[in-house]
Amino acid sequence: MPKSCPRCRSERVIYCHYGKRVGGVIGTVAGAISGTATTTASGAAAGARFGMYAGSVAGPAGFSAGAVLGAITGGLAGCIAGIRLGKVLDEQFFCQFRCLDCYAHF
């Protein structure tokens, strides 16, 4: 059964995903920053050890690649966590529907 707007009785109603959208963005940014910081801290020692063996070219490249992979992995994990939290917020706190005719949220 499709939802209808309680204000104008229109059936042109869409589901709003405000919590999922905001949670996904915040989670991605926070996860990417955390992943970069964690990888940079632990990857610095490993990059220095590898750089001693491989020479001056491979050390900085390995360090940069580790930071990028850490940011990607952290961003993905943060995005998933943010979307899950946003889904709960959508269901519990935010208006779930919006009417396309009168723009009412309910």
Q: What confidence tier does 91 reach under pLDDT thresholds 50, 70, 90?
A: confident
Instruction: Say what the pLDDT of residue 43 is.
Output: 60
Total tally of structural domains belonging to the chain:
1
- Better-predicted residue by pLDDT, 73 or 37: 73
Q: What confidence tier does 40 reach under pLDDT thresholds 50, 70, 90?
A: low
Name the pTM for this structure.
0.69
- Better-predicted residue by pLDDT, 102 or 94: 102
> What ranges make up the beta strands (E) of the chain?
13-15, 97-99
Residue 29 has pLDDT above 80, yes or no: yes
Residue 56 has pLDDT above 60, yes or no: no
Q: Which domain holds residue 75?
A: 19-96
Q: Is 103 left (phi over 0), alpha (psi -120 to 50) or beta?
A: left
Q: What is the C-alpha separation between 65 and 79, in angstroms, rounded? A: 21
49 found inside a domain: yes
103 found inside a domain: no
